[in-house]
Structure 1
Amino acid sequence: MTLQLPQNSPPGKKPENVVVTSHTTHQKAWKWYHYFTFNVDHKVIGIQYLVTAFGFYLIGGLMAVAMRTELATPDPDVLDPNLYNAFMTNHGTIMIFLWIVPSAIGGFGNYLVPLMIGARDMAFPKLNAIAFWLNPPAGLLLVASFFFGGSQSGWTAYPPLSLITAPIAQSLWILAIVLVGTSSILGSVNFVVTILKMKVPSMRWDQLPLFCWAILATSVLALVSTPVLASGLVLLLFDINFGTSFFKPDAGGNVVLYQHLFWFYSHPAVYLMILPVFGIMSEVIPVHSRKHIFGYKAIAYSSLAICVVGLFVWVHHMFTSGTPGWMRMFFTISTLLVAVPTGVKIFGWVATLWQGKIRYTSAMLFAIGLLSMFVLGGIGGVMLGTTPFDIHVHDSYYIVAHFHYVLFGGSVFGIYSGIYHWFPKMTGRMLNETWGRVHFALTFVGTHLTFFPMHELGLQGMPRRVAMYDPQFTAINQLCTYGAFLLAFSVIPFTINVITSWRKGEVAGDNPWNALTLEWTTASPPAIENWEELPVVIHGPYEYGLTDNHRADGLSEARS
């Protein structure tokens, strides 16, 4: 028997944008030990991704703290320069390939996409599990590389440096990235097929949640770009171990060719990290501002636009590599163009916030914090997209500042926002809001204190990726180090909050935010099969306050 829920459902109840069947809490739930097994349930895999990625985040963060401690003084008094180089290489690698990408795409994507489209699981459950289980061995290979001196060529692994320093460690690094890339390809195939073929028939494309649009664009981008990186790394592996000379300049190889292969993937990798986070923003902001999303179609299509234009901007990383003038001009224009669809999203989010009934939950605080951080990082990105300025600050700390404002201030803030928003759905418990606000304040201040002064370091000419520097930069570096310590400390209240809330937090109910997307029509946490009978969509996912039938919390003033 089906049941259409009444209007204005009170807190903890299902939204009225669907027709659903009876409750599914009586179904068997997974036990804790199932999360350590080869499980094919998309929800288990999503949590496996999130927890594993957070563990690597802690490892990468400790490396960052060690590097910033070293940089508090101009002399190498904490880390040996070779060890500093190994930490620098693996910090970047872990944060990108084992923290942001797996958590944003693998974690949230796996957990939410089937629930949001009314499916019982991903299209290929076993392939989904295989994709996750490729990540832990990749992390072990990176850790193992330290027993052979550690990869010291930076996360870009440019030859000829990568050909002559720590060959065994560099080979292990390459194998780790190939494993992660294979995982990304398998996962992307799964997402594309799942979204295109498995959404409930009653859901029109203009009712698809924006998070799903973002995951679809991300998956297509990964399928196009990831094999190019894999091919370049395999050729580099052959050069190191089997005597080939694809990238050996003294044997006729072309080092610039490697840069093209690397950046054809690695600039789109920025969008692989940020597009799912944009999807999270598009889910969090309407719910916590109680407003219909502004410009649904524009935000959805802008994800696809970023996917297309993002494939034609990679050479702006190579303006100092003997790039011809016509190529510089083309990629300057394309780099500036890719800012347009991003601006469309930001405008839509700000317009959604405008005159909304904002609830300053921890999820919303991190979403608003991301807006400010990403705008600052985006302005720096537009400046770096112009050839003259890029040549001036290339390989300086200005690049480090921009990169971290976009990825830490963007991606990591978005991941935190998503955790605070969907933690009740995943666990059935609420996170403590007081601890959440403390976590936000420490993270927000720590991020600015760490990375904003780096712009000045770059403009003054301090090179990045070095353990020793001119003493004139000491004061600013010490300020950045204090910020890094604050960022490291900010993880403590978050970790305590997650552990204690998961065990004995306030019971959340099925829909504590009165949200309208399909995942909130299930039990918290959802049953193994998600629903006894698949839901029937009768309203859009963001129609807050538009009509009596669309209101989730009785905001009658929105009608006037």
Structure 2
Amino acid sequence: MTTHAPAHEIPTVEGRREPDYLRVTKGFMSWVTTLDHKRIGLMYLFGVTLAFIVGGIFAMLLRAHLWNPGPDGQMFSPQDYNQLFTLHGAFMVFAFIIPAIPGSIANFALPLLIGAPDVALPKLNLASFYLWLFGTVLLSYSAITNGLDTGWTFYTPWSLKSQTAVLSAGLGVFVIGFSSIFTGLNFLVTMHKMRARGMGWFQMPLFCWAIYASSVLQVLATPVLGITVALLAFEHIYHIGVFDPAEGGDPVLFQHFFWFYSHPAVYIMILPGMGIISEVVSTHSRRPLFGYKLLAFSSIAIAVISFLVWGHHMYTSGQSEFAMQAFSFLTVLVAIPTAIKMWSWVATIWGGSIALTAPMLYAIAFLVIFTIGGLTGVYLAALAIDIHLHDTYFVVAHFHAVMMGSTAIAFFAGVHHWWPKMFGRMYNEKLASIAAIVILTGFMVTFLPQFEMGSQGMPRRYATYSEQWVGYHRASTVGAMILGAGFALMVGYLLHSLIAGRKAKPNEWGGVTLDWKCPTPPNLYNFDDEPIAGKLYDYGPTLKR
């Protein structure tokens, strides 16, 4: 349980509760200049959602184009198709997936979970948001000027020769990288310095452990991306010969630099989602998390190992046999802490008093999809199999199972879990459950055919294809439409809840972590009284199976 000391820091007016953070100040300028972590989290939430919608529109156009094998009857030229899938990937990865959970949900919930009045560096927090916004504007500028056709990975030597907006897009990624570094640094300082009285490291909720691990990755790995993009820009302008073989450079060096960042970036994306699943599973099963310390240390283990496996993206790039065998072994090794998490979540659910709320349905969808993504990742870690599957639709399906099907699904779970706390309003739970089922169905219909296509050798990134793939592509396109319909339904009922949703209960889900001990919505400094941490995840007796 959590108790509270008498109020002594946060003023109230004549015994009445002060206005919540949504109403304590009003006007447009009060939002765009705010230093309140909760408001900054909401600005991130609406911003990354818009980026997701833009990336999703690009995806729907891609799937519509691939309805027919072509080139007759297809919507776009091969050049336009290249730009569409590049912009889809760039928006989804850099503008949505990487900042989505740290920027929005962690910004809002992490100080509440550790009993802090705000993050440690509020001005840096606001600067991080505007850096992300500026970087996303640069990506958008690239889309509406010359476009971008290099793929989201900016592989050389093509990115050095392309006449599209490589420089502005690269600058956008560079700026977003600074936002990521500053956000990670802020969270690390906050967790070290601002935990509530009585909260040691092993009294921190597991969402905080996941954010801690991903923040370390953000601080240590992201500078490598910045250096790589800067070198790419210098070579593009001055032809200095780092990556361009025509100038004496090495394009494989670019791949090493890029993936040394981008594989840890996979865990920058997925670790915060895993933290959300830990909180949702425990709260909506009314049961303490099974294997708390294993879950905490597995986050750290994943972060450490993620720096050692980048070469599995490059089995076809001319590495030595020893290097490939080492990367293969280390890639399989990272499955161990990941499997610990899966086992702990399932063990927590087993024997719990499960409430099939919308957050819990999304958590279950996460477990299903991430299992698929994880197992297919083991296939891709194996040398002999990966040589056949490299750059096929199998990789596309695996990547989306881990990124969209896991990170985005966990993001949806977190939004639904903390929505009542964020806004003091409750969404339509029936529609939310329907949307969760529709999204899971749409994902499966979209990407399971792509696993089969890839195993049969269908290459990725091709604007046309032979007749033998028509059925698979059309099934995948129908699935994308189902997925889009589920997301549109979600946006609809969430927006409706802001206008006409019922007033949320002070503790909508019966949670026992500190975020549910503050008012709903929280006031400016979160807690009416100084929070004191007690036993973590103390739900008392639960119903037995």
The answer to whether TM tops 0.5 is yes
1:35 CA displacement: 6.8
Establish whether residue 62 from structure 1 lines up as the match of residue 57 from structure 2: yes
* CA deviation string 1:335-390 (max 9, x = no partner): 00101101001000000000211000000000001001000110000110111111
- Aligned match of 1:42: 37
**Cα pair 1:49 1:132 within 8 Å, conserved:** yes
User: What whole-Å deviation, never above 9, does each CA across 1:281-313 have from its counterpart, x for those lacking one?
Assistant: 010001111111100000001000001011101
Other-structure match for 2:3: 18
Q: Is the 8 A contact 1:267 1:314 kept in 2?
A: yes
Partner secondary structure for residue 267 of structure 1: helix
CA distance in 2, matches of 1:372, 1:480: 19
Q: Is residue 149 of structure 2 the alignment partner of residue 152 of structure 1?
A: yes
Q: 1:231 maps to what in 2?
A: 227
1:11 corresponds to which residue? none
Q: 1:402 — aligned with what? A: 398
**Which of residues 112, 117, 122 is equivalent to 2:119?**
122
Map of 1:12 onto structure 2: none
Counterpart AA for 2:60: V
Counterpart residue number, 1:475 = 471
Which of 455, 459, 481 is 2:455 aligned to? 459
Which runs of 5 or more residues in structure 1 are unaligned?
1-15, 547-554
Residue deviations 1:84-130 (CA, integer Å, cap 9, x gap):
11111111111111112212111111111111111111111000000
Q: Matched residue of 1:301: which SS? A: helix
Output the CA distance in 2 between the equivalents of 1:536 and 1:173: 46
Residue aligning to 1:248: 244
**TM-score using structure 1 length:** 0.93
Matched residue SS, 2:503: coil
Q: Which whole-Å CA distance do the structure 1 matches of 2:290 and 2:516 have between them?
A: 21
Give the 5 Å matches for 1:197-216: 197-216=193-212
1:490 aligns with 2:492: no
Counterpart Cα distance in 2 of 1:500 and 1:470: 45
C-alpha displacement of 1:147: 3.8
Task: Write the letter of the residue equivalent to 1:470.
Answer: S
Q: Identity over aligned residues, as a percent?
A: 41
Read off the aligned partner of 1:164 and give its amino acid letter: K
Q: Deviations over 1:369-415 (max 9, x none)?
A: 10010001100001101111111110000000101111111011101
- Deviations along 1:198-244, whole A, 9 cap, x unmatched? 11231122110100000000000111110011101100011111222
* Superposition RMSD in Å: 1.5
Q: Show the counterpart of 1:8.
A: none
Equivalent residues of 2:197, 2:531 under 8 A apart: no
Task: Structure 2 unaligned segments of length 5 or more: list them.
Answer: none
Query: Which residue of structure 2 aligns with residue 421 of structure 1?
Result: 417
Q: Indicate conservation of the 8 Å contact 1:101/1:272, yes or no.
A: yes
Equivalent of residue 131 in structure 1, options 116, 128, 132: 128
Higher mean alpha-carbon deviation, 199-208 vs 369-378, is at 199-208
Q: 1:322 aligns to what?
A: 318
The answer for the alignment partner of 1:53 in structure 2 is 48
What letter matches 2:203 in structure 1?
Answer: Q
Is 1:521 paired with 2:506?
no
User: Residues of 1 paired with 2:457 and 2:30: CA distance?
Assistant: 48
Residue 75 of structure 1 is matched in structure 2 by 70
Alpha-carbon distance between aligned partners in 1 of 2:143 and 2:356, rounded to the nearest angstrom: 44
Q: Could you say which residue in structure 2 is the equivalent of 1:450?
A: 446
2:83 is the counterpart of 1:86: yes
Q: Retained in 1: the 8 A contact 2:393–2:459?
A: yes
Contact 1:442 1:486 in 2 (8 A): yes
Greater Cα shift, 211-220 or 86-95: 86-95
- Of residues 90, 104, 108, the one that matches 1:107 is 104
SS of aligned partner of 2:425: coil
Structure 1 stretch 115-124 or stretch 136-145: which is displaced more? 136-145
Give, in angstroms, the shift of residue 318 of structure 1. Answer: 0.3
- Partners of 2:60 and 2:27 in 1: CA distance: 32
Question: Structure 1 residues 538, 134: closer, same or farther in 2, change over 3 A?
Answer: same
Aligned to 1:3: none
Match of 1:6 in 2: none
8 Å CA contact 1:20–1:521 kept in 2: the answer is: no
Q: Which amino acid aligns with 2:298?
A: S
CA contact (8 A) 2:518 2:528 kept: no
Q: Secondary structure at the match of 1:93?
A: helix
Give the number of aligned pairs: 533
Residue correspondence of structure 1 range 267-278 to structure 2 within 5 A: 267-278=263-274
Q: Normalized against structure 2, the TM-score is what?
A: 0.95
Q: Which of the numbers 189, 192, 199 marks the counterpart of 1:196?
A: 192
Q: Which shows bigger deviation, 131-140 or 391-400?
A: 131-140
Does 24-33 or 475-484 show the bigger shift? Answer: 24-33
Paired position in structure 1 for 2:28: 33
Give the Cα separation in 2 of the matches to 1:303 and 1:108.
18
For 1:66 and 1:193, the matched residues in 2 are separated by: 42
Separation in 1 of the partners of 2:30 and 2:457? 48
CA contact (8 A) 2:259 2:310 kept: yes
Q: Tell me which of 284, 297, 304 is aligned to 1:308.
A: 304
Structure 1 outlier segments of 4+, above 6 Å:
none
CA displacement at 1:34 relative to structure 2: 5.3
The CA distance in 2 between the partners of 1:79 and 1:39, in whole Å, is: 44
The code of the aligned residue for 1:200 comes to A
Give me the whole-angstrom Cα distance separating, in 1, the residues matched to 2:154 and 2:163.
12
Contact 2:31–2:39 (CA<8 Å) still a contact in 1? no
Which residue identity is paired with 1:152?
D
Cα offset, 1:496, TM superposition: 1.1
- 1:27 deviates by 3.6
Query: 1:156·1:262 contact (CA, 8 Å) conserved in 2?
Result: yes
1:54-107 Cα deviation digits (max 9, x unpaired): 001000000000000001111142112111111111111111111122121111
State the distance in 2 between where 1:103 and 1:534 align: 30
- Residue 17 of structure 2 aligns with an amino acid whose one-letter code is T
Cα distance in 1 between the residues matched to 2:535 and 2:219: 32
Q: Distance in 2 between matches of 1:439 and 1:282?
A: 22
Q: Which residue of 2 aligns with 1:340?
A: 336
Bigger Cα displacement from structure 2, 420-429 vs 102-111: 102-111
> In structure 1, the residue corresponding to 2:486 is in which secondary structure?
helix
Q: Which amino acid aligns with 2:508?
A: P
